Amino acid sequence: MANVFPRWSNFLPIKLAVFLVFAGIGVVCGVTYYFTGKYTRVGYMPGQPVAFDHSLHVGQLGMDCRYCHSYVEESLFSNVPVTQTCYNCHSQIKQDSPKLAPVRESIETDEPINWVRIHQVPDYAYFNHAVHVARGVSCQSCHGQINEMEVVYEAQPLTMGWCLECHRGPEEYLRPADEVTNLTWKPSDENRAAFYHELAEVSGSSYDELLAQAKAKFGFEDIESAMSQREIGTALVDVLGVNPPESCTACHR
């Protein structure tokens, strides 16, 4: 009887095993890279030409985000400050600090400072800062506790799934629009009475009704008890109709 299996098939199992080992390594590498924060660059913390310390300026000095990122409420792009903005203060204070040499140089030569970009969504995703800020998405929701960062790093994955999490369930993230740039805000800071009074005024409905609705839903015991994020978010979504779009064209054009 002739050989059914040709000679080369003797080595087939070994070849297969070697292949499987390599394939396995590939899969492991792939998963480690693509399925974890490494791919999404969470934690990406490049050095900047000027060691600007957010924890000092925002955390300690209490500067508002919009002093430097001045067009965040108007434009799709939250601008990084022009050198002139830095110089407004630093022409008076710490004029000679060696850390500020690039700023002085930029002012003198009119050449801009090249800040390293940290937060980047793909070119085919059109994120708009102005509308998020106007509708009550805090800076902190996407950028993390900037006020505690000495060096800014990417705090959130900025993936599509992550975006959709909020677009599908905005209750978990929305806050009153005037608290958007308050990075230390907590839901428990809100005064329930004041919150519903304002809500009633804006929406034109009755305060008592809103309060009763909320009570029915969240069953808080007394009006002074701490508010939860879900309660605030639900009120904003249901009463004011903050309704984030979920169709593709919202971000892709």
Partner 1 sequence: MKRVWQHPETETGAKASAGPINGDRVYWRSYEELDDTPEFREWLEREFPRGAAEMEGDEADDVTRRSFLKYMGASTALAGFGMAGCRRPTLYLVPYAKSVEWVIPGKPTMYATAMPRVKGCMPLVATTHEGRPTKLEGNPLHPNSNGGTDAVAQASIIGLYDPDRSKRVLRDGKRSTTAEFDAFLQEAQLLPKIEKGKGLAFLVGENSSPTRWRLLGEITKKFPNAKVYRYEPLNGEPQRRANEVLFGAGTTQTPRFQRADRILSLDCDFLGTDELGGDATGEFSRGRALNAKKKRMNRLYSVEPAFTLTGGMADHRLRAHASQMPRIAALVGKAIAEETGDNDLQAAVTPLLEKVNAAVFNEPWINECAKDLAKSKGKAIVVAGTRQPKEMHVLVALINRALGAFEGGQKAVIEVRQTREEAMPGLGALVEAMKAGAVKTLITTTEADPVYDAPADFDFATLYDEVETTVHLGLRANATARASTWHLPAAHYLESWGDIRSVRGVYSIVQPMILPLYDECVTELEVYLKVLNPPAASAEGGEAEEDSGPGIPINGMPRAEDPGPAYEAVKETFASFVKGDGDVSTAWNHALRDGFLPRTIYPRVDGAIQPAALEGLGEGGAFEQPFPWKDGMEIIFATDSKIYDGRYVNNGWMQEAPDPITKLTWDNAALMSVRTADDLGVRENGDMITIEVDGTSVTVPALVLPGPADHSITISLGYGQKGSGAIGDGTGFDMYPLRRSGIGEYVATNAKVTGEPDEPRYPLALTSEHYNMDGRAIVREGTMEMWKANPEFAQTQGMDSHIPPTIPLYQGPDYMDADSPRSTNDPAWNKVRLVDPNHQWAMTVDLNTCTGCNACLVACQAENNIPIVGKDQVMKGRIMHWVRMDRYFSSPKEELTFAAEKFSLAAEEGIGHERGRPKVDDDEVSMLTQPVSCMQCESAPCETVCPVNATVHTDDGLNAMVYNRCIGTRYCANNCPYKARRFNFFDYNKRPLEKLYWGPLAPPAGRGTTSERLQKNPNVSVRMRGVIEKCTYCVQRIQAAKIDAKVKAGQASQDVQVPTNAIKVACAQACGADSIVFGNLKNPEDTVNEKKADPRNYELLKYIGTLPRTSYLARVRNPNPAMPNAASVGQATADMH
Which parts of this chain interact with partner 1 (CB under 8 A)?
Answer: 41, 46, 71, 73-77, 79-85, 106-107, 109-117, 120, 122-126, 128, 130-131, 134-136, 168, 176-177, 202-203, 236, 239-243, 245-250, 252-253
CA dihedral 166→172→174→176, nearest 10 degrees, is: 180
CB 78, min distance to partner 1, A? 8
What minimum distance in Å lies between the beta carbon of 248 and partner 1? 5
Closer Cβ to partner 1, 17 or 29, answer by number: 29
231: nearest Cα among 185, 178, 176: 176
Shortest Cβ distance from residue 15 to partner 1 (Å)?
22
Nearer residue to partner 1 within complex by CB, 58 or 232: 232
DSSP string, 147-210: GG-SS----S---HHHHHHHHH-GGGT---GGGTT-TT--GGGS-HHHHHHHHHHHHT--HHHH
**Helical axes 229-240 vs 207-218, angle rounded to 10°:** 130
Q: What's the closest the beta carbon of residue 37 comes to partner 1, in angstroms? A: 14
Q: Which is nearer to partner 1, 35 or 77 (CB)?
A: 77
Nearer to partner 1, 211 or 242 (CB): 242
Q: Considering beta carbons, is residue 92 or 249 the nearer one to partner 1? A: 249
What is the Cα–Cα distance from 202 to 205, expressed in whole angstroms?
8
How wide is the angle at C-alpha 111 spanned by C-alphas 106 and 114, nearest 5°? Answer: 85
Report, in Å, the least distance between residue 202 CB and partner 1: 4
